[in-house]
């Protein structure tokens, strides 16, 4: 790291304990090998005075007057927290409800949702859950120095590692286990038609606890995911229920794939997450790959009307369980449940899905274009959807041999056309170029 970092915490005699942070790079970004705009992520660790439980300061010089104040988030202890990938244009409110309600039913007690852009309906629903203490909304504006014009590229290529690491360190002080997932990916176990799954198994937390007990040196568990045949209903919140899940009759089989895409960690044993894998583990702990046939995530994506190599599943018990909790929760949504919601524009994803499918097919050949990555795909414009987005401004400065970006004026406001978040401008700086 080119620049030192210092931590300041006040001691009982009102003098500051000043410690020099240990800084380490955690990743270079998912597209670092082929993208000149990739950024490196770092974490810093430093000693604090034991009584500094409210706030402390960090700075790039040993002078306390130059340091910024950091206030800690305080939560009761949570056994299972879910860190979602940043929410952006491709999220509809029905899938959001399925994701939140299922994770809560599976034992999660807090869900962290970064928002880059979302339909107004999705954001209102998130706010309802946040008011009930079940969700924490984090604003997640785009990076200011970017080349992609498609928001899928902006999230997947540039923002997701930082989001996961940010979430990990947000929840570390009060979370035992953390699952990192998309809103439509859920650990449901083996939903065989003949199995009394919910009565026998309980929650995802029980599964994770059992797997960590089976692998005592595991700091993190890596899971595969399997696509599920899935179609959304078209009701409003007041008439919404989960009976449509019973129409999902098949999922992809556990063939020889080996690609692990979802991560669950013991929060005290890891220091970084890089989207589909963990990075730095505490001394003595390792990354552990879980066989698909033992447990895997279910990918409930709206475009999966059919799946390859299907095997039968039965979602009726899950639907019944979710309906029971949803009906009781709906009573507390009195002011919101009859408000008209955006119609989910899933038809706008068809072009995007065909493009992604073509890229995926090419990746299984020996003739792969180094430029043909998912960020070249686009969806058709659907401008009539009412959306909000995270807006921000950035200050850029050079100090010593290091470069720094600082977000300012972060707000949630009306989005740009097509439900896109704007690329934030750099409004001030002390150097003539950004790296």
pLDDT for 412 equals: 96
pLDDT for 82 equals: 96
Q: How far apart, in whole angstroms, are the C-alpha atoms of residue 79 and residue 209? A: 10
Q: How far apart, in whole angstroms, are the C-alpha atoms of residue 58 and residue 3? A: 13
Q: How confident is the model at residue 423 (pLDDT cuts 50, 70, 90)?
A: confident
pLDDT for 413 equals: 94
Mean pLDDT (the chain, rounded)? 78
CATH 3.90.550 location in the chain: 78-340
Average of pLDDT values for 111-119?
Answer: 92
Average of pLDDT values for 8-29?
Answer: 81
Please identify which residue in the block is written with the tokens 């041999």.
Answer: 401
What is the distance between the terminal CA atoms of the chain, rounded to a whole angstrom? 15
Average of pLDDT values for 61-82?
Answer: 86
Torsion, Cα of 122, 124, 125, 127 (10° steps):
120
Q: How far apart, in whole angstroms, are the C-alpha atoms of residue 269 and residue 218? A: 8
In sequence order, the 6+-apart residues with CB closer than 8 A to the CB of 344 are 92, 93, 94, 232, 234, 302
Structure confidence by residue, pLDDT tens digits, 131-172 = 999 999 999 988 776 555 555 555 555 567 778 888 998 999
Q: How far apart, in whole angstroms, are the C-alpha atoms of residue 241 and residue 101? A: 11
Rounded to two decimals, the pTM is 0.84
pLDDT for 349 equals: 62
190 pLDDT more than 60? no
> How much of the chain exceeds pLDDT 90, in percent?
21
CATH architecture of 78-340: Alpha-Beta Complex (3.90)
Q: How far apart, in whole angstroms, are the C-alpha atoms of residue 398 and residue 166? A: 23
């Amino acid at each position: 790291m080119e620049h030192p970092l210092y931590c300041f915490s006040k001691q009982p005699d009102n003098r500051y304990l000043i410690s020099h942070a240990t800084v380490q790079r955690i990743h270079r970004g998912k597209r670092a090998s082929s993208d000149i705009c990739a950024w490196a992520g770092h974490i810093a660790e430093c000693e604090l005075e034991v009584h500094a439980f409210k706030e402390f300061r960090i700075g790039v010089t040993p002078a306390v007057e130059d340091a910024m104040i950091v206030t800690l988030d305080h939560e009761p202890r949570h056994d299972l927290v879910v860190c979602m990938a940043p929410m952006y244009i491709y999220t509809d409110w029905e899938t959001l409800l399925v994701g939140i309600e299922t994770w809560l039913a599976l034992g999660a007690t807090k869900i962290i949702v970064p928002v880059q852009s979302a339909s107004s309906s999705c954001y209102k629903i998130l706010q309802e859950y946040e008011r009930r203490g079940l969700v924490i909304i984090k604003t997640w504006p785009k990076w200011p120095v970017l080349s992609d014009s498609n928001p899928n590229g902006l999230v997947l290529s540039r923002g997701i590692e930082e989001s996961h690491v940010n979430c990990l360190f947000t929840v570390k002080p009060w979370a035992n286990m953390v699952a990192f997932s998309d809103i439509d990916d859920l650990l449901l176990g083996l939903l065989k038609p003949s199995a009394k799954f919910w009565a026998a198994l309980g929650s995802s937390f029980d599964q994770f606890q059992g797997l960590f007990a089976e692998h005592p040196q595991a700091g993190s568990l890596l899971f595969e995911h399997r696509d599920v045949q899935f179609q959304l209903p078209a009701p409003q919140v007041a008439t919404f229920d989960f009976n449509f899940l019973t129409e999902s009759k098949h999922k992809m089989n556990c063939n020889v794939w080996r690609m692990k895409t979802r991560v669950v960690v013991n929060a005290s044993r890891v220091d970084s997450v890089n989207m589909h894998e963990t990075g730095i583990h505490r001394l003595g702990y390792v990354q552990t790959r879980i066989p698909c046939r033992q447990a895997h995530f279910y990918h409930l994506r709206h475009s999966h009307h059919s799946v390859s190599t299907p095997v039968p599943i039965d979602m009726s018990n899950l639907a019944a369980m979710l309906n029971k909790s949803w009906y009781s929760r709906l009573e507390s949504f009195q002011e919101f449940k009859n408000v008209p919601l955006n119609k989910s524009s899933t038809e706008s994803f068809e072009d995007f899905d065909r493009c992604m499918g073509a890229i995926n097919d090419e990746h299984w050949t020996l003739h792969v274009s180094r430029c043909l990555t998912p960020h070249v795909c686009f969806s058709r414009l659907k401008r009539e959807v009412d959306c909000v987005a995270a807006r921000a401004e950035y200050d850029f400065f050079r100090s010593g041999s290091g470069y720094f970006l600082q977000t300012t004026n972060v707000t949630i406001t009306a989005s740009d056309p097509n439900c896109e978040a704007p690329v934030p401008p750099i409004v001030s700086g002390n150097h003539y170029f950004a790296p």
